[in-house]
Structure 1
């Protein structure tokens, strides 16, 4: 039976809100500079009647000082600085509570009764590597709420931010690579092969394979959605930040190439101070906007920001030329010796920028051996 008309209107409204939500993040510069610029960007959107949330990882020390909260914590729940601007601190301990509650509901049907409810969120310890997953989930929760038009994430650590925004694509590869194994999963056969008390425990759990596969399908839908968002500059805008020094230019250019490795187009470059000819040439064809060198006055930065609703054109991370039987992979900031190419299971694997990326080939190229690979900066050209 179809839901009532009013319910369909509500559902359509929620979908529309989610479709319009935009995530903005920064790569380059210091954590303090990113926080000040993130606050200015959030204020820019709020002044244009966009419901905006600025999120920062814990501890939010810089943000507390910038907004005058020196003696007051910001916390997990968003706090409003104005009618349309809120700020939140992404606390791992609070995020793991939310995650565990959701996870418990998912796994409860498959666990023996004596285990259900015996592990509490409040006792879970945060392990190394969990922060990225928890941050992504926290952003997902805010994104899915439909309460914000723009979510600004000032992560501070650019390499971790790259891992974060590249996580859906990485998970998509793992799902794609092991999907056949999951489809052929036969726990009864595994239990019989193992034998002993472990087999007895697996059989006693009475796991419903159909439900397990349904959960995997739900996860796949969430992963695919994340991949689509990351590749769409209208939904995920990533800005590079440099102070114009030689070291900063080199580091920011490396981040540019690394962003291509996670299939995320860069929207623009912000230069703290007047851009030099080297800055303009290094980051061509991206738009470069000058900001005051004194970034500590975040309110002064707002008036110097360009129109952030005008998304600049950026080169595609890769392009297939099926006539020439080639793939052109855009890798700015790297040298030939920094790029490694290989092929596995009908996909190209490119290593650069401490990232490993897999490119699915179209049917016309899949299965064909790589004939040649040459690096003509900023492109890696692969011929079949």
Structure 2
């Protein structure tokens, strides 16, 4: 399994430069590194190398790849057609080709996440550095396994319990029609298998994002007040998807004592200073980077559950109490902060209990049951 590392912040040039520097540093330490980006042409210019859509080795232990959405879509579409041909005697999509398909809004993030999953499962890399948009789109991308699995659990059960669901799953005549029309057995276990496999992927993705040893983000900012505010917002939004933020990397020019310029709202994050220097000074840039893995383990946990005290504590920096909305519908407890909405999975001992109180204290939303 790989450590998946990404960077969040308002200025793409700084983020990409830090991602490239991190790739050089970690590969120089003997780790097998894949630098994967979907932001061009900055990465190619910094590397002085034309990055392609397949991993290419540009130095010892260092590979780079461009996650081009149209290419990823074409490859994924071919996989779908192959899967369809295995389960349907008369495939429906055989006349539709990947080269014809347009990339819908949001699809590029899903394709990039799936590519990262595949590279992770290949076992070829110790570290995968994702150099993406670095804003709410990246956060939503890493939150996809949780979002999609929730939609699947919720709407699948609603469909099964609905009248039409009962008709489709119980009525022999409907099953017969489907078997004759599509040449497969509606109730056949082999047909359900790809769905089960997808659910397994989603659960593994959720576990990885919640594990600071597997996925971690670092904030990147200058001392400029607007950039710092954007980073605080991204920090809080990351907690909503259970993504650990390991620290803040402050890009500065000159010899200013940048750490003393950081407001207390970023406590207890560790702050590193990254000099805004030419890429001819790669060694100086590498020496300024933090220990990513160590800081990830020391960072505040996005969620803590105390079963004995019947309390759930959510770490939500960057938000005020008036920006947070808490609702409960049956077994689901939903927390809305900014443009992120989180459905909390409660342990069995708390399922069925109603929320008895909630308070916002020291950047934590503390929910009592």
The TM-score normalised by the length of structure 1 is 0.85
Instruction: Provide the residue aligned with 1:65 in structure 2.
Output: 45
Q: Once structures 1 and 2 are overlaid, which stretch shifts more, 285-294 or 270-279?
A: 270-279
1:316 and 1:191 map into 2 onto residues whose CA distance is 43
Give the 5 Å matches for 1:223-302: 223-273=202-252, 274-279=257-262, 281-294=264-277, 299=282, 300-302=284-286
Instruction: Provide the residue aligned with 2:11 in structure 1.
Output: 30
Consecutive unaligned residues in structure 1, runs of 5 or more: 1-18
Consecutive unaligned residues in structure 2, runs of 5 or more: none
Task: Report the CA distance between 1:127 and its aligned residue.
Answer: 1.5
1:344 and 1:188 map into 2 onto residues whose CA distance is 24
Task: Report the CA distance between 1:341 and its aligned residue.
Answer: 0.6
Task: Report the CA distance between 1:236 and its aligned residue.
Answer: 1.0
Helix, strand or coil: the match of 1:310? Answer: helix
Instruction: Provide the residue aligned with 1:117 in structure 2.
Output: 94
**Residues 298 and 241 of structure 1: CA distance in aligned 2, closer, same or farther (over 3 Å):** farther
Task: Report the CA distance between 1:328 and its aligned residue.
Answer: 1.6
Q: Is the Cα contact below 8 Å between 2:259 and 2:271 reproduced in 1? A: no
Task: Report the CA distance between 1:44 and its aligned residue.
Answer: 0.6
Instruction: Provide the residue aligned with 2:123 in structure 1.
Output: 146
1:363 and 1:354 map into 2 onto residues whose CA distance is 28
**Residues 263 and 216 of structure 1: CA distance in aligned 2, closer, same or farther (over 3 Å):** same
Cα RMSD (Å) of the superposition?
A: 2.7
1:298 and 1:232 map into 2 onto residues whose CA distance is 34
2:218 and 2:364 map into 1 onto residues whose CA distance is 21
Give the 5 Å matches for 1:83-232: 83-111=60-88, 113=90, 115=92, 117-181=94-158, 189-190=167-168, 203-208=180-185, 209=187, 210-232=189-211
Task: Report the CA distance between 1:165 and its aligned residue.
Answer: 0.9
Task: Report the CA distance between 1:375 and its aligned residue.
Answer: 1.9
1:365 and 1:188 map into 2 onto residues whose CA distance is 31
Helix, strand or coil: the match of 2:328? Answer: strand
**Residues 28 and 202 of structure 1: CA distance in aligned 2, closer, same or farther (over 3 Å):** farther
1:298 and 1:166 map into 2 onto residues whose CA distance is 36
Q: Is the Cα contact below 8 Å between 2:246 and 2:299 reproduced in 1? A: yes
Q: Once structures 1 and 2 are overlaid, which stretch shifts more, 140-149 or 173-182?
A: 173-182
The TM-score normalised by the length of structure 2 is 0.89
Which of 301, 314, 317 lines up with 2:299 in the alignment? 314
Instruction: Provide the residue aligned with 1:50 in structure 2.
Output: 31
2:157 and 2:358 map into 1 onto residues whose CA distance is 30
Task: Report the CA distance between 1:188 and its aligned residue.
Answer: 8.9
Q: Is the Cα contact below 8 Å between 2:90 and 2:183 reproduced in 1? A: no
2:47 and 2:348 map into 1 onto residues whose CA distance is 54
Helix, strand or coil: the match of 2:292? Answer: coil
Q: Is the Cα contact below 8 Å between 1:191 and 1:203 reproduced in 2? A: no
- CA deviations 1:114-173 (Å, max 9, x no partner) are 635222222222122211111111112221221111110111341111011111111221
Which of 314, 320, 344 lines up with 2:329 in the alignment? 344
Q: Once structures 1 and 2 are overlaid, which stretch shifts more, 360-369 or 232-241?
A: 360-369
Which of 328, 331, 338 lines up with 2:313 in the alignment? 328
Helix, strand or coil: the match of 1:311? Answer: helix
- CA deviations 1:274-321 (Å, max 9, x no partner) are 434352622211211111033765724112112334234122212223
Q: Once structures 1 and 2 are overlaid, which stretch shifts more, 167-176 or 341-350?
A: 167-176
1:363 and 1:191 map into 2 onto residues whose CA distance is 30
